[in-house]
Amino acid sequence: MYSRIVGTGSYLPEKIMTNHDLEKLVETSDEWIVERTGIKQRHIAPEGVTTCDLAEQAARKAMEAAQVSPSDIDLIVVATTSADRVFPSTACLLQDRLDVRNCPAFDIQAVCTGFVYALATVDKFIKTGAAKCALVVGAETLSRLLDWTDRTTCVLFGDGAGAVIVKASEEPGILSTHLHANGQYKDLLTVNGGISETPDDFRAGRNYIKMKGNEVFKVAVNTLGEIVDETLAANRMEKSDIDWLVPHQANIRIINATAKKLRMPMDRVVTTVDRHGNTSAASIPLAFDVAVRDGRIQRGETILMEAFGGGFTWGSVLLKY
């Protein structure tokens, strides 16, 4: 028994913040941001719009594409670092919105690798027979965690959501998943505190994303190179067997480095970082949905998804679409 993606969906808030808009907030420039990150704009959720709001829109589009109803879904997993509430989980809030009843629903927090972790988890549920039709969502409102006076981070991140429906299938779908983490790098990419560590700052909303960019870049390039080798070796495949790379959309230089490792031309790499920025756990399903809906990714093709995020966490999913 395999698990197979049968429908995709995504959603972006209407508000767009360009690099020129950011020039009015911090000392930066469009040229500087594009040269170092590849980002030209990002979507920002307006006040009152939550992560669950974005997740709901993406989920409904994926359900429509897969032609499934709420009664068909027997598992919901949401990957997010920007949950609506401390509890209940965003997955439970989404479950209520979609009128799905009684199935397991939970969040996964692996930052930018969250969707890969979620898809790997759902794959195990389906292969063991514990689920037959799962909704997997990556959704973020990371703009709520930004210090808009910190030019090293506020230029990078955006809001959005992507979703897939995964069903049990006798045809090959997800071929393998590979997950890793190393907590010794915890301070290189982090939010500076939280509920337990800094409760006063948490209550006052003074916890923001902090990043040591050069160090993160070096580790990301090395670990993503290794995960490519690990994934290909596990499946006894050559680099030429991969039809599409759908990477986490963090930085165009990291994406270019991974494509070079695969000897893959950039026209076979799905990139949305210029339009979406880094949407963390939402970036891979967002990019995947874009490429499915515009006709680039076709049924039967082999897709490599890979991501790297705070923790550090990193991982990959190899699948037949």
Q: Which residues are catalytic?
A: 112, 248, 278
- d(CA 313, CA 113) in angstroms, rounded, equals 6
Give exposure, 57-93, as e/b (b: 16+ Cβ within 10 Å): bbbebbbebbebeeeebbbbbbbbbbbbeeeebbbbb
Whole-number Cα distances in Å, 135 to 7, 99, 247, 287, 295: 10, 13, 20, 17, 22
The answer for residues whose C-beta is within 8 angstroms of residue 48's C-beta and 6 or more apart is none
Helix axis angle, 213-234 to 252-262, nearest 10°: 30
Give exposure, 116-149, as e/b (b: 16+ Cβ within 10 Å): bbbbbbbbebbeeeebbbbbbbbbbbbbebbbee
Q: In terms of residues, how long is the chain?
A: 321
